[in-house]
Amino acid sequence: MSENEHDVEEQAFLEEVTAHLPSDWSDERRNTYVQNVLTSWRKHRTHSRDELQSREKYLSTIRQYFKSQSPELYDFKQWPINENLLAMLARGSLDSDIVNQIQSTGVYTFSFLPTTFCQTLINEIAYFEQWCVDNGLELYRPNSMNKYGVILDHFGFDKCLNDIVNNIVEPLTRLVFTHVIPPLDSHHGFIVEYAMDKDRKLDFHVDDAAVTLNVCLGTDFTGGQLYFGGVRCVSHISNTKPRTDEEIYLEHQVGTACIHLGNHRHRAMPITSGRRLNLILWCRSANFYAVENNHGNNTCPTWCGFHQIEKKEDI
Ligand SMILES: O=C(O)CCC(=O)C(=O)O
Ligand SMILES: [Fe+2]
C-alpha cells in the first residue's frame, strides 16, 4: 500500500471518529482525544500488518518446501466417500437411512469415510506437525478456542476442502437447512485434537460459520461427546437456556460425520481417556450472513429455537 493510500485510510478513520464526538467538547479536549485514539489505531494497524506479513511468509515457506507423504489425500476425487451418500446427493432427495436427523434437533449424522482413510489423514497431520517442528515453524492454531490441532488450509488442503463444500456440504445444506442461502462461498478447515495432557474439552459456543461439517477421524478415546443446546439468532445466543427437547449428546464414531448450523450452540464434553481428532469445516455464506444478522435489525427469525417457543406460547 502506498503512503497516499495510508493517508486515505487514516483520513477515513479520523472522519469516523470526529463525527461522533459530543458537540460541547472544547477544541483542546477534542484534539487530545483524537490524538490518543489515532496513536493506538496506528499501533494496531502496524501490528496487523506485521501479522499479515509473517503469516504470508509462513504460508509461502510451506508452499515451497513441504512435501506431503500421501499426496492422494489432497485430491477430493481420491477421497473414498460413502457411495450411498454420494448417490443420495446425486438424486437430490433426503434418505433418512443414509443421513439421520437426531431427535428433530437439526443435527444430522451420516457415515462418511472408511476408518483406514481417516488414519492415513491423521498420519499426514502428524507428519506435517513434525515437519514444522523440524523446520522451526510455529504452528497456527485452528481458532481462538482450540490450543491443539492444525489449520488444513495452510498446507495444501484448501482446494480439496473447497470441493467438499461444493460437492457435499452445499448439496446437503440445500436439503436440510433450506433457510441458509447458498452459495457457501468460503470456508475454514482445521483439525481439533483432544488428549488427557492437551485440551480435554471445548466450552459452549457457536461457530463462525453458516454450516459446520464435523468428521471424527480417530483415534481410541472415551468421552468427548458433542453436546448441543439449541439454535439461536444473535439476539438470543447468550441469554436463553436450552430447552430439554433441544439437548442432545452425540457420541463420536470414527469415520462418521455430523452437519449442523453454525449458530447451533454446542460444546465438546471432556474426553476421559485416549486421544480424539476431528476434522472441522466451517462453511460460510456471505448471503446468509446478512440474513443471520437480520440485516442489522433485532427481529428474531423463525429458525431461532427461542422464536419457536415465543410462537408456541402465543397460541
Ligand atoms: O470437538 C469437536 O468435535 C467440535 C469442535 C468444535 O465445535 C469447533 O472447533 O468449533
Ligand atoms: Fe464448534
List domains and CATH numbers for the chain.
Answer: 3-58 (no CATH), 69-314 (2.60.120.620)
pLDDT at 315: 38
What is the dihedral angle through the alpha carbons of 40, 42, 48, 50, rounded to the nearest 10 degrees?
A: -120
**Ligand 1 contacts CB of residue 192 (under 6 A):** yes
Residue entry with cell 433418512: 96
199 pLDDT tier (thresholds 50, 70, 90): very high
ipTM of the shown complex: 0.99
Q: Which three cell numbers stand for residue 24?
A: 460541547
**Ligand 1 contacts CB of residue 215 (under 6 A):** no
pLDDT at 43: 85
Residue 272 in this model has a pLDDT that exceeds 50: yes
Single-letter amino acid code for the residue at 33: Y
Mean pLDDT of the chain: 91
What are the tens digits of pLDDT across the range 15-49? 888 888 888 889 888 888 888 888 888 888 888 88
What are the tens digits of pLDDT across the range 145-154? 888 999 999 9
Q: Which of 222, 197, 210 is nearest to 147 (CA)?
A: 197
**Ligand 1 contacts CB of residue 265 (under 6 A):** no
Q: How far is the CA of 207 from the centre of ligand 1 (A)?
A: 9
Q: Which of 302, 207, 295 is nearest to 258 (CA)?
A: 207
Residue 312 in this model has a pLDDT that exceeds 60: no
**Ligand 1 contacts CB of residue 266 (under 6 A):** yes
